[in-house]
Structure 1
Amino acid sequence: MSWWERFLFRDRGIIPTKKLVLFMLAFSGFLFITAFLGVSWTFIFIINVVVFLVSLIDLAYIPKRKDLHVERIIPSELERGLAYDVKVVVKNDSDHSMNYRFIDGIPQSFMRPFPFIGAAKAMSQEEATYETKAPVRGKYEINKLYFRYSSGFGLWEKQTSFHLEETVKVIPDLSSVKDYLKNAQQYLLHEGVKIRKQNSGVGEFAKVRNYVVGDDPRKINWRQTAKLQEVMTNEYEPERGKYITILVDCGRMMGAELKESNRLEKALEAALTVTAAALKNGDYVSVVAFSKEVKVYVPPAKGMDHLQTILQAIYHLQVDPVESNYGAVLNYLQSVQNKRSLLLLFSDIQTFLYEDSTLAYLQRLRKRHMFLMIGIEDEMLREKVKSAPDEVRSAMVKSIAQQQLLFIMREKNRWQKQGLHMLEAKGEKLASTAVSHYIDTMNRGLL
C-alpha cells in the first residue's frame, strides 16, 4: 500500500518515469532476443543492472527538497460558477533546472485541470497559473499541494507534498448585484423590466431643478420659477429608512433543479440583489432563512456594509430534505420584527398554497406588515399546458397540467383577496422581478 500511495501522487519518494520504464523494457527485449544468438543470461543480467545503476546518476541532477519553495495564491472568496485563476509560485534555489508537475489539493467538486506541467530554471522563480470553478457553495479547507519534479533527462522523478493551508469560501453568484449597483436602470431594462415613476408628490422632497419635457406640470415650483425667470420643478425621492425583511425558504422543494442550478441558488441571488437595492436606498434590511426551523436570522441594519454581513451569514445555506414550516417562521417573525416592514418571501408557491394553516398567521401579519411572495414558475408545467397532444397519453398529461395551473391561479386569487400578493418569474428573471416590485412599492409609498 505504501508503494501504491507513491504512485498515486500522495506520498514522498522517488519513482521511475515513463521514459525510464519504456527504455528498460525496450532494452531488456533487445537483450532477450540476443540470448538466442548465444549471449549468456549472466551477461544479460549484469548489463541490465549496470544500465539501471547508470540511470541513478540522473538523481544527482534533480534539485533537493530543501531547495524548493512553493506558494499558492488563491482568492479567499469565490463566486459560484465563475472562473478564477489560481497562481502557484515555484521557487528553485538549486543549481539544476527541473521539470515539474503538480496536483493541487482543492476539493473534488472544483474544476481540476491536473496534473499541471511546467518547468523551472536553476536559481529562478516561476509562476504557474491554472483556472478553476466552484459549483457548490460552502466553506472549504485546502491543505496540501502534491508535487513531482525531475531533471532534464527525465529518468527518475521525485515527489513530495507541501502543506499550504488556505480557507476558501464559495459564495453565491453576485453578478446581478454588481449589475444593479453599477446601473440600476440599465440593469432592469436589460432584464426586460423598467423602473416605474413614482406617484406625483409622493416621497421626500429632494431638490429643485430645471423643468424638462415629460415632467409633471403639477410639480412646478412657481416661487422659484418667478425668482429665477426659468421654469423650475420639485423632485421627490422615495422615503428612506423603511424596513425590508427577506425570508428565504431552504426546504425540500427549493432543491428542484433548473437549467443552471436549483431554486435555492436563484433565490439567494435574488435576495442579495434586493438587499443591495434596499441598502443603497437607505432602508433597513433583515434576513431570515428557514426550513423546518429558523436557520439564520440577521437583525435589521442599514448601510452597504450590512450587505457583507448578510452575505457571510447565508452563503453556506443548503437545501434541507424536510418540508418547510411556514407557521413556525411567521410566528418567529412576529416576535423579532415589531416595526412595519415589507416581507419578501422567496419560496415555492405551489407548496405554499397547500398550507391553509399559514393563512391565519399571515392575516395577523398583514395588519402590520406588507407581504409579497416570489417564486420560480414551473417551466415544465407551462410547457405541458402549451403542448399539442397527438395521443391519448399526452392529452391526459396536458389536461392534468391545465387542472394544476387553474388550481394555482384560483388559490393565488384567493390569497390576494386577503392582501397577500404572490407572483412567479422565470429563474433568470427572478432578481430583476423582485427588485422591480420593491422599487414599485417604495415609489408608490405603499409601505
Structure 2
Amino acid sequence: MLVYGILTVALGIAAVGDLSWWYVFAIDLIVFLVSFGDLFFSPKKSQLRFKRTLAEEMERGLPYSVVIEVSNPTAYSFSYRLIDSLPQSFVRPFPVRGTILKDSVVRITYETSPADRGKYEINKLYFRYRSLFGLWEKQTTIELPEELKVIPDLTETRQYLENAQKFLLYEGLKIRKQLSGSGEFAKIRSYVVGDDPRKINWRQTAKLREVMTNEYEPEHGKYITILIDCGRMMGAELKKGNRLEKALEASLTVAAAALKKGDYVSVLAFSKEIKVYVPPAKGMAHLQTILQAIYNVKVDAAESNYAAVLQYLEMMQKKRSLILLFSDVRTFLHEESALIYLKRLRQRHLFFMIGVEDQTLVKRTKTEPADVQAAMLKSIAQQQMLFKKREKNKWEKQGLQMIEAPEEQLAVTAVSQYIEIMNQSLL
C-alpha cells in the first residue's frame, strides 16, 4: 500500500500536466498486477505445519510457557505475527512476532498465566506471514484443539510436603510434641539428652548395654472431613484471589498433611446445596482424587445452607472425625439453625472452623479518630468486632472452636491446628 500510494501521488501530479489519465490508470493496473508476483516468493498455507505444546494442568496465578512449533520446508523465508486463542482470563502477550528462515523448524515460545480456575478449550491459532518483499501478507487459521485445566495454586502444599517443620517455622509456628507416652509406638532409638526418662526401654538397654528409649508418634488412621463453603460471602476479593481460592489452597495443604500421616480424608464443597463430595480414603494418591473433584468449584450467588450440609454430613460420616470448616465466620455466627445440628455432631465428631480475617475491619479499629467521620467508622468497626467476639464465645462454650487467620497464613494456621489436635490425641 505504501508503494502503491507513492506511485499514485506521483502519477497524479504528472496527470496535472500533459500525461493522459488513461496512462495513469494503465500504469496503476500494471503495478498492481505485477505486485502479485511477490506472492510466489512466500510459502503456500498448506505447506506450513504447526504444533502447540502446553501443560495439561496449570496452577492459578503461576507463569507457564507455551511452545508453538512451526515447520517451513519451503525455499522461502518470511516474517510472521501470531495470536493464540487463549481465554480472556489468561495473560495474552500477543501478537508474537519473529522471522522463520527457509527449510527450517522454529519453536516459538511465549509465557502466559491463568487467573481463574476451571476447564478450558484452546482451539485456533491465527498466523500471518509476509512474503520476501513484504508487499502482501497471508493469514491462516489453524485448528489445534487442546483441553486445559487450571487448578488451585499448590505452592504451599508442595512446601509442606518438602519440609513440614520448615513450612510451619516460616510463619513462626512449631509442630507440637504429643503428650508423653501417647500415640502409637514408632521405634526404639538411642537415648539423647532431653528425652523423657520414663520412655527408656530397659530390656533393650540391658541387651545392647546402651541406653535405649521408645519413640512414639501420633496415632494414624484417623478421619478428617474438610468442608469448603462456596457461598456468596466466599467471593469477597482479597489481595490475591478471593476467599474461596485461599480456602481451596489451605484445604489441599491440610489434606496433604493428613494423607502423609496416614489419615483418612474426605472433602465436601457446598453452598445452598451439596456441590462435591469425596468419600474418605487414605494414601497420597487420594490427593489427586480430591484435586480433580474440587478444582472447578465456583462461588455461588446464594447464601450457604449450613443446616443442610451438617445434616448431610451427619448421615454420611458415621465414624468419629475431625471436621474442618473453611467459611466466613461472621456469616456463620448468624446461623442459629446450624447450632442445633452442631450440638448433635459434637457428640460424635470434633468441630473446628477456620476463616479469613477481615483486614479492613481490623484496620478500621486501629485508625486514629482524627475527625468525626473517622471516629464513626472506628466505633462501627469496634462494634462489629465486639459482636463477633461475643457470638464466638457463645459458640465456643458449646465446644465449637473457631479461629480467623490472615489470608497469607490461612494454610499454615489450618495445618498447625490439625497437627496440634492430632498430637494431643483429641480424636
- The TM-score bracket by the shorter chain reads over 0.9
Equivalent residue, structure 2, for 1:136:
116
The code of the aligned residue for 1:296 comes to V
**Residue identity (%):** 64
Match of residue 92, structure 2, among 101, 105, 112: 112
Equivalent residue, structure 1, for 2:142:
162
Match of residue 297, structure 1, among 277, 282, 297: 277
Distance in 2 (CA, whole Å) between partners of 1:35 and 1:214 is: 105
Equivalent residue, structure 1, for 2:229:
249
Equivalent residue, structure 1, for 2:193:
213
Task: Kindly provide the CA deviation profile for residues 371-428 of structure 1, in whole angstroms up to 9, marking residues without a partner as x.
Answer: 0000001000000000001111110110111111011111111111111000000001
Give 5+ residue unaligned stretches, structure 2.
none
The code of the aligned residue for 1:236 comes to Y
Asked if residue 446 in structure 1 is aligned to residue 426 in structure 2, the reply is yes
Distance in 2 (CA, whole Å) between partners of 1:56 and 1:193 is: 73
Match of residue 385, structure 1, among 365, 372, 376: 365
Which deviates the most, 90-99 or 366-375? 90-99
Distance in 1 (CA, whole Å) between partners of 2:258 and 2:180 is: 21
Equivalent residue, structure 2, for 1:234:
214
Equivalent residue, structure 2, for 1:394:
374
Task: Kindly provide the CA deviation profile for residues 82-114 of structure 1, in whole angstroms up to 9, marking residues without a partner as x.
Answer: 000000000112222222221111111111111
Q: Secondary structure of the equivalent of 2:122? A: strand
Equivalent residue, structure 1, for 2:295:
315
Distance in 2 (CA, whole Å) between partners of 1:191 and 1:30 is: 74
Asked if residue 50 in structure 1 is aligned to residue 51 in structure 2, the reply is no
Give 5+ residue unaligned stretches, structure 1.
1-20
The code of the aligned residue for 1:422 comes to M
Task: Kindly provide the CA deviation profile for residues 105-151 of structure 1, in whole angstroms up to 9, marking residues without a partner as x.
Answer: 11111111111112222222110000011000000011111111222
Distance in 1 (CA, whole Å) between partners of 2:207 and 2:320 is: 41
The code of the aligned residue for 2:423 comes to N
Distance in 2 (CA, whole Å) between partners of 1:130 and 1:155 is: 28
Equivalent residue, structure 2, for 1:190:
170
Match of residue 126, structure 2, among 142, 146, 154: 146
- Shift of the alpha carbon at 1:48? 1.7
Distance in 1 (CA, whole Å) between partners of 2:14 and 2:201 is: 109
Equivalent residue, structure 2, for 1:15:
none
Which deviates the most, 167-176 or 38-47? 38-47
Which deviates the most, 30-39 or 60-69? 30-39
Distance in 1 (CA, whole Å) between partners of 2:29 and 2:64 is: 49
The code of the aligned residue for 1:230 comes to E
The code of the aligned residue for 2:215 comes to E
The code of the aligned residue for 1:248 comes to I
- Shift of the alpha carbon at 1:194? 1.3
Q: Secondary structure of the equivalent of 1:118? A: strand
Equivalent residue, structure 2, for 1:62:
42
Equivalent residue, structure 2, for 1:100:
80
Match of residue 364, structure 1, among 337, 344, 365: 344
The code of the aligned residue for 1:222 comes to W
RMSD after superposition: 1.1
Q: Secondary structure of the equivalent of 2:187? A: strand
Distance in 1 (CA, whole Å) between partners of 2:63 and 2:289 is: 24
The code of the aligned residue for 1:110 comes to F
Asked if residue 126 in structure 1 is aligned to residue 106 in structure 2, the reply is yes
Match of residue 288, structure 1, among 260, 265, 268: 268
Distance in 1 (CA, whole Å) between partners of 2:129 and 2:21 is: 35
Q: Secondary structure of the equivalent of 1:159? A: strand
Distance in 2 (CA, whole Å) between partners of 1:203 and 1:35 is: 102
Which deviates the most, 195-204 or 79-88? 195-204
Q: Secondary structure of the equivalent of 2:279? A: strand
Match of residue 39, structure 1, among 19, 37, 61: 19
Would you identify which runs of 4 or more consecutive aligned residues in structure 1 move more than 6 Å? none
- Shift of the alpha carbon at 1:225? 2.2
The code of the aligned residue for 1:119 comes to T
The code of the aligned residue for 2:96 comes to F
- Shift of the alpha carbon at 1:342? 0.2
Q: How many residue pairs end up in the alignment?
A: 427
Task: Kindly provide the CA deviation profile for residues 248-295 of structure 1, in whole angstroms up to 9, marking residues without a partner as x.
Answer: 000000000001110000000000000000000100000000000000
Q: Secondary structure of the equivalent of 1:230? A: coil
Match of residue 343, structure 1, among 319, 323, 327: 323
- Shift of the alpha carbon at 1:22? 2.1
Q: Secondary structure of the equivalent of 1:357? A: helix
Equivalent residue, structure 2, for 1:334:
314
Distance in 1 (CA, whole Å) between partners of 2:196 and 2:36 is: 89
Task: Kindly provide the CA deviation profile for residues 141-192 of structure 1, in whole angstroms up to 9, marking residues without a partner as x.
Answer: 1111111122221111111111111000000000011111111111111122
The code of the aligned residue for 2:370 comes to D
The code of the aligned residue for 2:302 comes to V
Q: Secondary structure of the equivalent of 1:257? A: coil
Q: Secondary structure of the equivalent of 2:110? A: strand
Asked if residue 25 in structure 1 is aligned to residue 15 in structure 2, the reply is no
- Shift of the alpha carbon at 1:430? 0.3
Task: Kindly provide the CA deviation profile for residues 318-343 of structure 1, in whole angstroms up to 9, marking residues without a partner as x.
Answer: 10000000000000001110000000
Distance in 1 (CA, whole Å) between partners of 2:349 and 2:301 is: 30
Distance in 2 (CA, whole Å) between partners of 1:92 and 1:192 is: 57
Distance in 2 (CA, whole Å) between partners of 1:215 and 1:30 is: 98
- Shift of the alpha carbon at 1:443? 0.8
Equivalent residue, structure 2, for 1:5:
none
